[in-house]
Amino acid sequence: MGGILVLNSGSSSVKFAVFDGHLEQILSGSATEIGGASVLKITSKGKSSEETSASLPNHSAALSAILEVVHKTGIDVTDLAGVGHRVVHGGASLQASIGVDAAVIKEIQRCSDLAPLHNPHNLAAIEALSDLAPDLLQVACFDTAFHATNPEVAQRYALPDSPEMKNFRRYGFHGISYQGLVNTLADRAPDGVPDRLLALHLGNGASLCAIKSGQSVATTMGYSPLEGLTMGTRCGGIDGNLVLRLAEQFGVDETSQILNRKSGLLGLGGISDMRALHASGTDAAQFAIDHFCYWAVRHAGSMIAAMGGLDGIAFAGGIGENDALVRHKILSGLTWLDTGFDTKANENNAFRIDAVGSSIPIWIVEAEEEKTIAAETQRLLKQYD
């Protein structure tokens, strides 16, 4: 089977990776600041990264530049077996990875109301690539799909049961990361995936997931990625009446900016980046870190209750994989569960960090979202064959 191109399109960037038929990553990079002072970054297997300035006025130009880079490595678009896209929101209809056709495009477009900051840019990449390589099979992988297994009682808000309310429900996000985490533990953990797994995807966006028998049964994000934990710039859980009061005082648009882009670590500590908060050393920065960890521990109790117990813990995401102090603070808040951890292993970001004698195994798992998308794309390609 030929190579697979994976695309993750944001509002002003496109990240990409190329995998061979054995799902080994051979090329990766990004096009950033699309529409402005654009930069193209390329990393080939076994080589250092290269950055060059580029004229990328839109997503179509960015994709053309990416395909040109891929071509220079000896891979033409016609050589690719397919392309996998990260799409943030699949709504209630698109609950599994799927080959893209006109009907799927229409549904992704319809879900743009549910994820206005993400889906339009995911769709732009799909449409631009359709123009550039119309015969290439494209696959959409949804961040919401992993949580489709949540029971109805977990998905429904206690809103009036009427047709106009049907889309106002908890969807959950970071599903591609959680699927990749499950895949990794299935491959690498001696006993496979534990029956009741608490998974923590901690980064600028952060969520927890209760994974029972390999499937999501609860998660902290809801209708949008705003709900749940304290995040880089998102406030996390907030009283609905307070949202209404903010809207009265500041207007709807400004309230959206406050809740999504001016709150969280940034709002509390003045900095959205966790590494910079650690380095800052201010009281406000320390409070922001404590707030992040407190709500992770508090929501962990909810996830554990949803599973009826705990058999394992796994950290993923930029903070989850690299921040030993945050993991230390969160795990220290869960010691009542006999979650002893090895301080040295934690500081070294080891794959397994539970202490000898602890009844709960603890892992640090690289999310590998791109590889997960490539694997899903390859699986669907085989079905088409």
Radius of gyration over every alpha carbon of the chain, rounded to an integer in angstroms: 21
Q: Cα 317 from chain centroid?
A: 8
Task: Find the angle CA(88)-CA(93)-CA(95) to the nearest 5 degrees.
Answer: 60
Give dist(CA 166, CA 157) in Å, integer. Answer: 10
Residues in the chain: 385
Q: Which residues are catalytic?
A: 143
Q: Which residues have C-beta within 8 Å of that of residue 25, sequence separation ≥ 6?
A: 17, 18, 19, 45, 370, 371
CA distances from 126 to 83, 92, 94, 230, 378 (A): 9, 20, 16, 32, 17
CB-based contact 312:360 (threshold 8 Å): yes
Residue 370's DSSP bridge partners are none
Residue with tokens 């710039």: 233
